[in-house]
Homo-oligomer: A and B are copies of this chain.
């Protein structure tokens, strides 16, 4: 062959899986979607592409944006609206809610599972295209605190079903630390928030230094440290905070909200959810409940599922007060971590339940008809594609991980038989009545 061959290479940051891995990814996504829907949330899907001005309506974006452009653009297109790939699902949600405000029902309970893109420089372990699974409730003027516990319950349901090993969701409420600072006379809570955010990474001593540097008295710094180590599986954190002896209305409100959330999560098995007052989330966006979730076997991996309550979803696009609460799973990152660590339950290379053998080419109609009967009963059924030795057909089933092989009668009057590839058992069977 004299033909020019362009040998394709994987492009860093754009993951793609072999069929056996993709099958597990589909199981994950199906489970996540089913759980979202089991709580009555509806799906929306927004275009992958937004106007660049929409993405930047809130101001400069710290995420790397990919802009898109027609390869063969005309000269006069220079002034056209610039388009870009969305870098998250929150900005598109805000735009969607603003644009369709009059056609939506509130509280608007939606989930969204799409790819997002970040224009990162290529580097190992950093995805430039990945799936995110977001769930949010948006209200007009208010969103009942009930949803703050419901979203946590949903995410615990989801993560327990993914077989990712032990994990823990940590919940706090930003009003507590804000109120505590105000009650302690600390004017600017930002450096305190930053210090508390780092406590798990840098330890107590370093955190205390940061607090002293921020101008806190030794006494106040100690109080903040004590505060940041409060972690309870029930509502007993309330008493521990009250013991700090600080009085403030915002503080009291935050405690009441977090207590309500923990109360309504009492049905969740102990250990999956804790009130952890060191959780502040970096983003200024959040104003109440905040969530993070850690893999207990590798807390250093960072949060696998985070979110919180915000006051203003779509103020950049519509003159309405639209608060909300939401949580997001960075699906691709978590999935790839499990994949790399061989923790995916990989079973087969195809979704097939049964391979129906082809006795010989003249029996194609019989093979097809047998497959149709089994398919109508809900099974995924392949027919063997070529007139080849049965040994070869069995080998095909084995290689692809197909659990059952079906033998239609090779001679008139003989019975059908089915072989269980796991046990090796083979027995007579009727396609109309057989059950797996």
Complex Cα distance A120/B427, Å? 58
Kindly identify which residue among B64, B95, B267 contacts A8, using a CB–CB cutoff of 8 Å: B95
Contacts A37-B380, A71-B84, A381-B40; is A8 near B66 (CB within 8 Å)?
no
> Does B46 lie within 8 Å of A16, measured CB to CB?
yes
A355: chain B residues at CB < 8 Å are: 40
A128: chain B residues at CB < 8 Å are: 49
Q: Which residue of B lies closest to A149 (CB)?
A: B368
CB interface residues, A 119-154, toward B, < 8 Å: 119, 121, 128-129, 144, 146-147, 150
CB interface residues, A 53-74, toward B, < 8 Å: 53-54, 57, 64-73
Quick check: is A105 within 8 A (CB to CB) of the other chain? yes
Q: Which residue of B lies closest to A385 (CB)?
A: B144
A350: chain B residues at CB < 8 Å are: 40-42, 109
> Does B40 lie within 8 Å of A23, measured CB to CB?
no
| The 8 residue pairs across chains A and B that have the minimum distance between CB atoms | A40-B382, A14-B47, A40-B352, A70-B119, A19-B42, A6-B57, A65-B71, A37-B351
> Does B11 lie within 8 Å of A83, measured CB to CB?
yes
> Does B317 lie within 8 Å of A5, measured CB to CB?
yes
Stretch at the interface among A96-104, A248-256, A416-424: A96-104
> Does A385 lie within 8 Å of B147, measured CB to CB?
yes
Contacts A64-B71, A110-B19, A382-B39; is A315 near B84 (CB within 8 Å)?
no
Contacts A6-B53, A8-B54; is A380 near B48 (CB within 8 Å)?
no
Number of interface residues of A (CB under 8 A): 103
CB interface residues, A 383-434, toward B, < 8 Å: 383, 385-386, 396, 399-400, 402
Quick check: is A18 within 8 A (CB to CB) of the other chain? yes
Kindly identify which residue among B15, B317, B380 contacts A6, using a CB–CB cutoff of 8 Å: B317
Q: Which residue of B lies closest to A120 (CB)?
A: B70
Given A5-B316, A19-B42, A37-B351; 12 other pairs, CB 8 A cutoff: A5-B315, A11-B47, A16-B47, A17-B45, A19-B110, A22-B42, A39-B382, A40-B355, A48-B129, A64-B71, A150-B383, A267-B368
> Does B6 lie within 8 Å of A38, measured CB to CB?
no
Quick check: is A7 within 8 A (CB to CB) of the other chain? yes
Q: Which residue of B lies closest to A3 (CB)?
A: B315
> Does B57 lie within 8 Å of A65, measured CB to CB?
no
Quick check: is A372 within 8 A (CB to CB) of the other chain? yes
Complex Cα distance A88/B26, Å? 21
Complex Cα distance A369/B355, Å? 44
Distance to closest chain B CB from A94 (angstroms): 9
Distance to closest chain B CB from A342 (angstroms): 16
Quick check: is A194 within 8 A (CB to CB) of the other chain? no
A375: chain B residues at CB < 8 Å are: 38-39
Distance to closest chain B CB from A429 (angstroms): 19
Contacts A19-B110, A22-B43, A70-B65; is A8 near B84 (CB within 8 Å)?
no
> Does B365 lie within 8 Å of A39, measured CB to CB?
no
CB interface residues, A 332-361, toward B, < 8 Å: 349-352, 355
Kindly identify which residue among B4, B43, B46, B69 contacts A23, using a CB–CB cutoff of 8 Å: B43
A84: chain B residues at CB < 8 Å are: 71
A/B interface sample: 9 pairs, CB < 8 A: A7-B98, A16-B47, A37-B351, A40-B382, A41-B350, A41-B351, A67-B71, A70-B121, A105-B396
Complex Cα distance A72/B355, Å? 52
Contacts A53-B6, A54-B8, A372-B267; is A85 near B64 (CB within 8 Å)?
no
Quick check: is A330 within 8 A (CB to CB) of the other chain? no
Complex Cα distance A176/B52, Å? 51
